Structure 1
Amino acid sequence: MAKIIPFKAVRPTRDKVSLVASRSYQSYTQSELEARLDYNPFSFLHIINPGYKYHKDIVGKERYSLVRNRYQEFKEDNIFIQDKLPSYYIYKIVNREGLSFSGIIAAASADDYKNDIIKKHEDTIEYREIIFKDYLKTVGFNAEPVLLTYPDNTVIENIILEAQKERAEFEFTTTYRDTHYMWKVDDDALVNIINLEFESMQTVYIADGHHRCASSYLLSDELKSENKNHTGKEPYNYFMTYLIPESDLKIHEFNRLIKDLNGLSKESFLIKLDAMFRIENRGTEFYKPTKKHHFSMYLDGEFYSLYLRKNNYAFNTALDALDTQVLYKTILEPILGITDLRNDTRIHYSHGKNDLVNIKEKVDDGLFQVGFGLVPITVNELKAIADEGLTMPPKSTFIEPKLRSGVTIYEF
């Protein structure tokens, strides 16, 4: 039974939301970051990059405190306001490719993460969990929701569609040409219906944001132990999420680029591949795989199709059947000697939105020697991995939608 509740969001005023909203901090180049900080005083980047005010890089706990200060200044200047009633927030994104995503921003229970009602499919790194937990404890807010997905639900879908017939609380288009809309749902009857529908769900799944989930649970557990009057209703028992139905989730593949052939010649490498794959040379024809267990390979100016010889490979778990795992167990580890997919500097990941052109260019430029293209993982595969308590290899999915930071904020 998933606990997904409404909350009183802190959010930018209608006239400033487009100026406040920012992408994930890590996605900006240094020049992009400097331009936004120089010319947009309302950008959320000023909050998460507080050292800009002093022309100094500030890290650690000192930075966390300054983030909190910048946030309070935005509230004092009425750039941010807080809703008076607990609400669900219907959020829609239409990206530049014309794909549309509609879901609900709400608060999810940290205990549901602990109890495997909110299921994960990726491993987290402990030190990153702790760092972000300490950050959250100091700043006191979530500014970017965790992306969760739930089984398609007709009742929730109808509420979303009805709300979208009204004028949105805000509408803005980014420089990426994605258009964002938000509607507030604070009517008691509708709030109760949404709450009950989520309560009827036995599980929901993390699509993106595993570390934020884990850190939010650690924070909840820590604050619970420090509060002698803990009731379970405190805001720190929850964290901000964006929930979208499974049919709205868009999963792109992550392709692989490798810097060398582990000392093998091209011919020796192809002979080793032949033990596990039926290989066809496609020449200069761009080959993009369309089926599970089919891969494309770009090597020495030519494309190849690789079809797994299934008689030579055992499918014992949902993980075994995952194409990123197949590639790892048949090529990357045994032939190319890559055992640590997270830290080996010989491997690079390129999400499918960059397509095979990106792989070809980087191999042709000599930055990498070989590239592999995959088909996207499906929602059902993601769920099967989570249900079996397994974890995918790193960079198995590039998932949309991607939300902006600072559009809705959850305080605890």
Structure 2
Amino acid sequence: MAKILPFKAVRPTRDKVSLVASRSYQTYTQAEREARLNYNPFSFLHIVNPGYKYDREITGTERYQLVRNRYLEFKEDNVFVHDEIPSYYIYKIVDRDKQVFNGIVAAASAEDYEKDFIKKHEDTIEYRERIFKDYLKTVGFNAEPVLLTYPDNQVISKIIKELQKERAEFEFTTTYRDTHYLWKLENSDIIATIQKEFEQMPTIYIADGHHRSASSYLLYKDEKEQNPNHTGLESYNQFMTFLIPESELRIHEFNRLVKDLNGLTKEEFLIQLDTIFRIENRGIMPYKPSKKHHFSMYLDGEFYSLYLRKTGYNFKTSLDALDPQILYNTILKPILGIEDLRNDIRINYINGKKDVINVKSAIDSGEYAVGFGMVPVDINEMKHIADDGLKMPPKSTFIEPKLRSGVTIYEF
């Protein structure tokens, strides 16, 4: 039932796309940001960090307007061009580990989001939704698509493979050694075929970008209410997405770091854990769990394995059986006193794509007291929780692929 539509993207010119494309602003260190802003006048970071031009930090609505100004300047200078024909954009990423991701950049329906044809599995924070909604309303564009996933489909897969035999519109390699390719799909008959395939899918799922999709939905509601001539065809009725088949989605875990033991000694903490876990000291050698409901722990210079006791915990819902939720229900909340996983400053997260040594280093530095690891959530768990209308704890999944900002832009 999902409506997946072509759109007219704003894109960098072929000769500048590698210079424009950027990671999410927050993923750069200050030194990395400064280097790109100082030496690359075409970086998309100049748009999202407009205060650089005035050598000062600018926030709030003033920043939003300046972001729009920088964006319009890029268009005026022909760094960006606006496509004339609604298209699907076939996108391929080959990462440094030779993992390949193939998908379609397209517009998804805000109404489908409202009706739950596009399913969610993660909670969002209301004030963040509204802040980003106000940002979108002022700047008038979105440059980072929401990642959606759908059941593998032979028809769509065949179309993608056939188009990829042609020369790509874009081909560039990042400093992370990921290679990105983009093809324009303008053929109306093929577009209609793909649309029909998506319409036959009862649901698709948000993999990454819950706040972006929620903010786009709020923008749709606002604009619809304020437009007496609303037709349903306006650009605010959709939001930009990157759709990939479930088999190509890569899900990593997030490790948990906690600053203290909530007033407990090491021995008192271990005794409380023993009530619900079978504990084994693994010594100084790095250890990662290999099964569901098994956890790793690093504490006071040593690794431990924690095996959930089968008689000590009941699985009443699909969420109860999720490892990040088990960790919260059995350790983080009752023993370490962390109730608000989003806002408690005592907890932090490291994505599981990084080595377990990163957890060890954070504990050994003294900044944190204990760290926990687990195996990744799988796609079926994620879908089951979404289908049940439940929400995972924050930072339950670190999902790939990650697209670059500024390669395709959706204007409202």
1:365 lines up with 2:362 in the alignment: no
Q: Which residue matches 2:95?
A: 95
Tell me the distance in 1 between the aligned counterparts of 2:411 and 2:348: 37
108-117 vs 47-56, which moves further: 47-56
Q: Which residue matches 1:217?
A: 217
1:73 lines up with 2:88 in the alignment: no
In the TM superposition, residue 56 of structure 1 has moved relative to its aligned partner by 2.2
Tell me the distance in 1 between the aligned counterparts of 2:306 and 2:214: 38
Q: Which residue matches 2:240?
A: 240
Matches within 5 A, 1:8-407: 8-407=8-407
Tell me the distance in 1 between the aligned counterparts of 2:354 and 2:400: 14
Tell me the distance in 2 between the aligned counterparts of 1:124 and 1:265: 35
Q: Which amino acid aligns with 1:193?
A: T
Map Cα deviations across residues 124-148 of structure 1 (whole Å, 9 max, x no partner).
1111111111111111111100001
Tell me the distance in 1 between the aligned counterparts of 2:144 and 2:308: 40
Tell me the distance in 1 between the aligned counterparts of 2:363 and 2:385: 32
SS of residue paired to 2:282: strand
Q: Which amino acid aligns with 1:108?
A: A
Map Cα deviations across residues 281-331 of structure 1 (whole Å, 9 max, x no partner).
111222211110001111121111111002110101010000001011111
TM superposition outliers: structure 1 runs of 4+ over 6 Å: none
Q: Which amino acid aligns with 1:146?
A: V
Q: Which amino acid aligns with 1:176?
A: Y
In the TM superposition, residue 338 of structure 1 has moved relative to its aligned partner by 1.2
Map Cα deviations across residues 326-352 of structure 1 (whole Å, 9 max, x no partner).
011111111111111111111111110
Q: Which amino acid aligns with 1:151?
A: P
In the TM superposition, residue 57 of structure 1 has moved relative to its aligned partner by 1.7
**Unaligned residue ranges in structure 2 (runs of 5+):** none
In the TM superposition, residue 355 of structure 1 has moved relative to its aligned partner by 2.3
Tell me the distance in 2 between the aligned counterparts of 1:64 and 1:37: 18
Percent of aligned positions that are identical: 74
SS of residue paired to 1:393: coil
Tell me the distance in 2 between the aligned counterparts of 1:22 and 1:309: 46
Tell me the distance in 2 between the aligned counterparts of 1:285 and 1:127: 43
Q: Which residue matches 2:7?
A: 7
Aligned residues: 412
In the TM superposition, residue 246 of structure 1 has moved relative to its aligned partner by 0.6
SS of residue paired to 1:312: coil
53-62 vs 177-186, which moves further: 53-62
Tell me the distance in 2 between the aligned counterparts of 1:273 and 1:61: 48
Tell me the distance in 1 between the aligned counterparts of 2:27 and 2:406: 15
**Unaligned residue ranges in structure 1 (runs of 5+):** none
Tell me the distance in 1 between the aligned counterparts of 2:63 and 2:271: 54
SS of residue paired to 2:105: strand
SS of residue paired to 1:353: coil
Map Cα deviations across residues 203-245 of structure 1 (whole Å, 9 max, x no partner).
1111111111111111111111121111101111001000001
In the TM superposition, residue 108 of structure 1 has moved relative to its aligned partner by 0.3
SS of residue paired to 2:395: coil
